[in-house]
């Protein structure tokens, strides 16, 4: 592949970019001689970015918004290879977000060869046009059972927990802690399923791991489907270490795939194809976590037949329910999603586009895998509060009603693409029908420092129980199994501002009765709703 090297350097005194084009004279050296290193390291990174962003980058450098140098290899008309200082990545993310409304909008690669390979048009053409499986809709009993088990409070609880971290930025301890919380939550979900596994995937160059939950396939385990979302968060206001709760971007996606995993495991879903749920690290700085995993799977020959990315699912900016991104995705799988929506739901759809490298599906697409990304709205109408301290659940009305739609779509996608049955025991019979959940509601008033106890709430061991607190003022929610909670002894304590907290838990094998305490941080009027499976 012939490439032309261009140096884009910010001239502080001249206030403009200078451009130096390398000669094609062989005496100037080979491609490998032009740059200090062919590998991404701690100081520099190889990235690919949409060529339509280059002019925006020139303008940002001229303004001083993106200081330093960018060494450029223009290899296709659609995308460009750049070598940048890793210290420039936060500023580049900010420029792409502020001026092109893209989350990231670029991809970090391990080496120049990997970056150049991502520009191969034949690979992207294969990813856009290929159909690796027969898309049939013939697993309705499983789909309908899973859809009926999906619960909004469960999704809301995960969003609340993840957005309670001050930031989930990929280099921070809180970003690592959030990944470990997800690992522990997924391990809890798999506790009754010895066939399912949870692992962390460690990356080179930064501490935040990705998290992978695997349900092995029964009849065709060598074929894999992936449902993914990203763990990290960022802000374009000031330092990337500033508060970035990331409730919509992308705690909502993680919460959505977590709920799909929960209902699959608790319902005894036994897929024919292997199903992997992946929480990716470092999406906001060049799709780094998903890039590592997709590259490794391609090298290892893992036969991934379908990828579904859920990035931002809980802000309803459009009149339609679900937007399907049509660029850098697979046409046949997109149509499969439309068919799932019209067959199993009453949701409405629209088409949208999001540009180059806008989320983790692009890591798979650029390596030839079939990938799709249903999105919360058209790109122009999506959540305006992302990448800031204002990306909170309150921007979505304090609930996860919109994300619930994506959980149902994702569950249908899993059941119809992976196929399989609700028969983990392998006895040829469906698992026992779950009883109808019992809902209890209490209303009251609490003064500052006052505590009110409720319970016990007897719950079937191994089933879900959700305690949701809403109201005005500021009251705190405490839940404990086996005994009434105190301020120092509890199973769940969400730590949210105001009177809007949720605990979504799985009852233990013993001492499965739950107790709830409401304590006034200040005076508050509240409604407590407890939903559980009673014995």
Q: What are the tens digits of pLDDT across the range 187-207?
A: 999 988 999 999 999 999 999
- pTM of the predicted protein model: 0.79
Is 249 annotated as contributing to ligand binding?
Answer: yes
Q: Identify whether 425 is part of a domain.
A: no
249 is catalytic: yes
Is 387 annotated as contributing to ligand binding?
Answer: yes
Q: Which of 119, 138, 166 is the last residue in one of the domains?
A: 119
230 is catalytic: yes
In this structure, the strands spanning 106-109 and 464-481 are unpaired
Do 97 and 139 fall within a single domain? Answer: no
Do 385 and 359 fall within a single domain? Answer: yes
Do 470 and 504 fall within a single domain? Answer: yes
pLDDT for residue 100 = 78
Is 230 annotated as contributing to ligand binding?
Answer: yes
In terms of pLDDT, which residue wins out, 507 or 370?
370
Domain total in the chain: 3
DSSP-assigned beta bridge partners for residue 322: 349
Cα 424 from chain centroid? 27
Do 226 and 300 fall within a single domain? Answer: yes
Q: Any idea which of 326-335, 369-378, 441-450, 490-499 has the lowest mean pLDDT? A: 490-499
203 is catalytic: no
Question: How far, CA to CA in Å, does 443 sit from each of 63, 291, 321, 378, 494?
Answer: 56, 49, 32, 39, 19
Tens of pLDDT, residue by residue over 428-456, are 555 555 567 788 999 999 999 999 999 99
Do 313 and 358 fall within a single domain? Answer: yes
Q: Identify whether 432 is part of a domain.
A: no
52 is catalytic: no
Do 403 and 495 fall within a single domain? Answer: no
- Count of CB atoms situated within 10 Å of the CB of 449: 10
Residue 234 structural domain: 124-420
Is 321 annotated as contributing to ligand binding?
Answer: no
Compute the distance between CA of residue 309 and CA of residue 361 in angstroms, rounded to an integer: 6
Annotated active-site residue in 71, 152, 259, 311: 311
Compute the distance between CA of residue 234 and CA of residue 232 in angstroms, rounded to an integer: 7
Tens of pLDDT, residue by residue over 100-129, are 777 778 999 988 888 888 888 777 777 787
Tokens 């130096």: give the residue.
20
- Count of CB atoms situated within 10 Å of the CB of 301: 7
Do 294 and 239 fall within a single domain? Answer: yes
Do 521 and 411 fall within a single domain? Answer: no
283 is catalytic: yes
CB contact at 8 A, 349 and 323: yes
Annotated active-site residue in 97, 109, 387, 402: 387
């Amino acid at each position: 592949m012939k490439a032309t090297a261009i140096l884009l350097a910010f001239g502080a005194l001249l206030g403009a970019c200078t451009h130096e084009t390398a000669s094609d004279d062989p005496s100037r050296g080979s491609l490998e001689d032009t740059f200090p290193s062919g590998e991404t390291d701690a100081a520099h990174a190889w990235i690919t970015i949409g060529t339509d962003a280059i002019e925006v980058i020139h303008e940002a450098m001229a303004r001083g918004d993106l200081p330093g140098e960018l060494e450029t290899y223009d290899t296709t008309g659609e995308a460009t290879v750049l070598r940048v200082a890793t210290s420039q990545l936060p500023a580049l993310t900010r420029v792409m977000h502020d001026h092109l409304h893209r989350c990231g909008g670029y991809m970090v690669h391990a080496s120049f060869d990997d970056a150049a390979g991502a520009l191969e048009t034949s690979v992207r053409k294969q990813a856009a046009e290929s159909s690796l499986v027969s898309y049939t809709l013939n697993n309705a009993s499983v789909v309908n059972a899973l859809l009926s088990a999906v619960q909004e409070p469960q999704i809301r609880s995960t969003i609340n927990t993840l957005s309670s971290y001050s930031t989930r930025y990929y280099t921070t301890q809180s970003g690592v802690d959030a990944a470990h919380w997800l690992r522990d939550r997924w391990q809890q979900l798999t506790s009754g399923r010895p066939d399912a596994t949870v692992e962390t995937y460690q990356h080179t160059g930064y501490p935040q791991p990705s998290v992978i939950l695997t349900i092995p396939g029964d009849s065709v385990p060598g074929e894999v489907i992936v449902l993914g979302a990203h763990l990290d968060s960022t802000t374009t206001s000031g330092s990337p270490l500033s508060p970035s709760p990331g409730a919509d971007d992308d705690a909502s996606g993680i919460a959505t795939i977590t709920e799909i995993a929960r209902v699959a495991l608790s319902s005894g879903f036994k897929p024919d194809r292997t199903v992997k749920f992946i929480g990716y690290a470092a999406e906001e700085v060049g799709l780094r976590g998903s890039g590592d995993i997709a590259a490794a799977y391609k090298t290892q020959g893992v036969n991934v037949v379908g990828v579904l990315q859920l990035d931002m699912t809980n802000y309803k900016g459009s009149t339609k329910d679900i937007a399907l991104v049509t660029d850098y995705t697979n046409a046949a799988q997109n149509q499969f999603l439309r068919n799932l929506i019209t067959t199993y739901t009453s949701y409405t759809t629209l088409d949208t586009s999001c540009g180059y490298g806008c989320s983790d599906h692009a890591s798979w697409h650029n390596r030839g895998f079939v990938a799709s990304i249903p999105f919360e709205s058209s790109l122009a109408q999506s959540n305006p509060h992302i990448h800031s301290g204002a990306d909170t659940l309150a921007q979505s009305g304090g609930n996860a009603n919109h994300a619930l739609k994506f959980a149902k779509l994702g569950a249908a996608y899993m059941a119809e693409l992976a196929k399989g049955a609700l028969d983990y025991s392998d006895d040829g019979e469906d698992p026992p029908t779950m009883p109808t959940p019992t809902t209890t509601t209490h209303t009251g008033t609490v003064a500052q420092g006052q505590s009110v106890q409720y319970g016990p709430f007897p719950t079937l061991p191994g089933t879900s129980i959700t305690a949701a607190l809403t109201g005005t003022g500021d009251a705190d929610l405490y839940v404990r199994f086996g005994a009434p909670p105190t301020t120092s002894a509890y199973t769940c304590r969400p730590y949210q501002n105001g009177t809007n907290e949720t605990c979504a838990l799985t009852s233990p094998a013993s001492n499965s009765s739950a107790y709830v305490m409401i304590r006034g941080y200040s005076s508050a009027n509240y409604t407590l709703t407890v939903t559980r499976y009673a014995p």
